[in-house]
């Protein structure tokens, strides 16, 4: 039985797990006012790795309902794309490479799938790293966690390197399970990488500490594990020593964010720059909204700052 009601005004969907809790529910209406679009957002909650039929039902509904214009997909990016592949008339290059879709939109009568993380994670990175930083230093990038967003960031750098040498010369990736490292390695093996990369199986936070402690000065340590939001704790222990003059980036902006507290405890002594996932969140949503409503939304400059400010006011 179809539980979806045809939209009576332009509607974008958020396909996630606990969508009502997300800041976007408050931010979206304010952004729509700003863009002058009369549209609403509706959450669709599935449990992680839900039945394929449920994903198909939701995506088929969006495909055939005229005022349902598209969706942003979080946790179910891979499962949903896999279950609904034949429903899409077109898929972007990254969606095909990664086998996932975080953006569902319409182009005329066609339904399109895109993977936006390789773009949005890069925009978020560039927002706080100084221009030319990687060209001018031998700092490394340490990615704690080899999941989807970590892989996406490496793909952003692969693409950036086609027109710039401002990418890390060395990346170190760790993961709790070996499988994710192998998946990442498999995708990397199909590409020409502009950096050297080491993959480390690190089942415990103490294993991650060893790699944090051995980073050269100025390196960037990223918590891409979800620990501190999706799960308790942090991927490193309190004994980890962040690199002098380095950077610490937590991919999330809500939750306990223990990793950020650990970095803050050393901020003065190690002269650290610390960043959370708020700007990543803004880019993540605005890139999909631009696709769904076919509007131009800048990725920097005064208009982007206004869009960010509107979102901040709802925090």
Which DSSP letter does residue 231 get? B
- From the list 76, 71, 68, 73, the residue with the least C-alpha distance to 51 is 76
Q: Is 119 in the site for ligand NAP (CB under 6 A)?
A: no
By beta carbon distance, the residue nearest ligand NAP is 147
Q: Are strands 170-175 and 196-201 parallel, antiparallel or unpaired?
A: parallel
Q: From 21-29, 127-135, 225-233, 293-301, give the range in contact with ligand NAP by CB under 6 A.
A: 225-233
Non-local CB neighbours of 157 within 8 Å, separated by 6+ positions? 122, 167, 168, 171, 194, 195
Residues 275-294 vs ligand NAP: string with x where CB under 6 A? --x--xx--x----------
For residue 247, the SS3 value is: strand
Count of positions on this chain that bind ligand NAP (CB under 6 A):
29
> What's the order of all strands across the beta sheet hosting 196-201?
196-201, 170-175, 141-144, 220-223, 247-250, 273-275
Q: How far is CA 292 from the centre of its chain?
A: 18
**Cα 297 from Cα 36, distance rounded (Å):** 13
Q: Is 180 in the site for ligand NAP (CB under 6 A)?
A: yes
Question: Measured from the CB atom, is 167 or 288 closer to ligand NAP?
Answer: 288
Considering only residues 29, 43, 99, 226, which one is a binding residue for ligand NAP as defined by CB under 6 A? 226
283, two tokens: 């880019």
Considering only residues 253, 262, 288, 304, which one is a binding residue for ligand NAP as defined by CB under 6 A? 253
Q: Is 205 in the site for ligand NAP (CB under 6 A)?
A: yes
Question: Measured from the CB atom, is 7 or 41 closer to ligand NAP?
Answer: 41
Interface positions with ligand NAP (CB under 6 A):
144-150, 174-177, 180, 202, 205, 208, 224-227, 229-230, 235, 251-253, 277, 280-281, 284
């Amino acid at each position: 039985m179809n539980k979806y009601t045809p939209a009576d005004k332009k509607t974008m969907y958020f396909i996630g797990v606990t969508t009502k809790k997300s800041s976007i529910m408050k931010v979206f209406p304010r952004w729509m006012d700003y863009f002058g679009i009369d549209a609403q957002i509706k959450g669709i909650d599935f449990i992680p790795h839900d039945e394929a039929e449920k994903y198909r039902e939701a995506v088929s509904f969006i495909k055939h309902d005229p005022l349902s214009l598209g969706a942003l997909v979080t946790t179910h990016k891979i499962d949903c794309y896999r279950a609904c592949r034949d429903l899409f008339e077109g898929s972007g290059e990254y969606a095909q490479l990664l086998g996932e879709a975080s953006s569902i939109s319409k182009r005329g009568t066609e339904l399109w799938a895109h993977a936006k993380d390789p773009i949005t994670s890069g925009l978020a990175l560039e927002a706080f790293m100084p221009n030319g930083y990687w060209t001018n230093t031998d700092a490394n990038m340490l990615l704690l966690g080899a999941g989807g967003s970590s892989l996406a960031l490496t793909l952003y750098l692969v693409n950036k390197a086609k027109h710039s040498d401002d990418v890390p010369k060395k990346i170190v990736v760790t993961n709790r399970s070996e499988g994710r490292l192998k998946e990442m390695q498999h995708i990397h093996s199909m590409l020409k990488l502009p950096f050297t990369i080491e993959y480390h199986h690190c089942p415990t936070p103490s294993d991650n500490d060893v790699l944090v402690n051995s980073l050269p000065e100025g390196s960037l340590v990223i918590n891409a594990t979800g620990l501190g939001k999706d799960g308790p704790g942090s991927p490193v222990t309190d004994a980890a020593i962040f690199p002098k003059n380095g950077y610490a980036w937590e991919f999330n902006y809500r939750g306990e964010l223990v990793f950020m507290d650990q970095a803050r405890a050393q901020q003065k002594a190690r002269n650290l720059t610390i960043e959370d996932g708020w700007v990543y969140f803004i880019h993540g949503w605005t890139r999909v909204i631009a696709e769904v409503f076919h509007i131009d939304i800048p990725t920097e400059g005064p208009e982007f700052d206004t869009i960010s400010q509107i979102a901040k006011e709802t925090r």
